Amino acid sequence: MGKDLSFKDKKVITIGIVRELTGLSERQIRYYEERKLIFPERSAGGSRKFSFSDIELLMEIANKIEDGIQTHEIRKEMQREQKKQNQEEVRRKMIQGQLNAQFGIRKQ
């Protein structure tokens, strides 16, 4: 079920490192969060924590911004993609459910 998200999706990287890794300014990174493009977690003290996936996403966002696409549009694009992936997920689960019903792989 799902991919191996053990490392790539773990939110463990502070904003300073993200700045170095992406070349973006902290201002930009915080702004993209404000515009709901990325969703860092927070430490107990309030510091943002990012994942490697967030970093990859930030690079894509930066490219689109450079192409003149507005954050508003980028968010909509991302929602469309997310929706598509969700549907894919539902389809897979339904097929799996039917297989289980017919050929009966029972849980013990």
Partner DNA sequence: CGTGTAAGGAATTCTGACACG
Which residue, 45 or 104, has its beta carbon nearer to a second copy? Answer: 45
Phi and psi at residue 8, to the nearest 5°:
-60, -30
**Which helix (H) or strand (E) element contains residue 98?**
helix 71-103
Among residues 17, 90, 97, which one has the least CA distance to residue 51? 17
Binding mask 40-59 for a second copy (x = CB under 8 A): ---x-----x--x-------
Position 21 contacts DNA (CB under 7 A): no
Half-sphere exposure of 66 (CA within 13 A, CB side): 7
Position 67 contacts DNA (CB under 7 A): no
Beta strand 48-49 with 41-42 is: antiparallel
Record the tokens describing residue 71, joined without a space: 């954050």
Among 1, 2, 44, 107, binds DNA (CB under 7 A): 44
Residues forming the site for DNA (CB under 7 A):
14-17, 19, 25-28, 30-32, 35, 43-48, 65, 70-72
Residues forming the site for a second copy (CB under 8 A):
7-8, 10, 12-14, 16-17, 21, 43, 49, 52
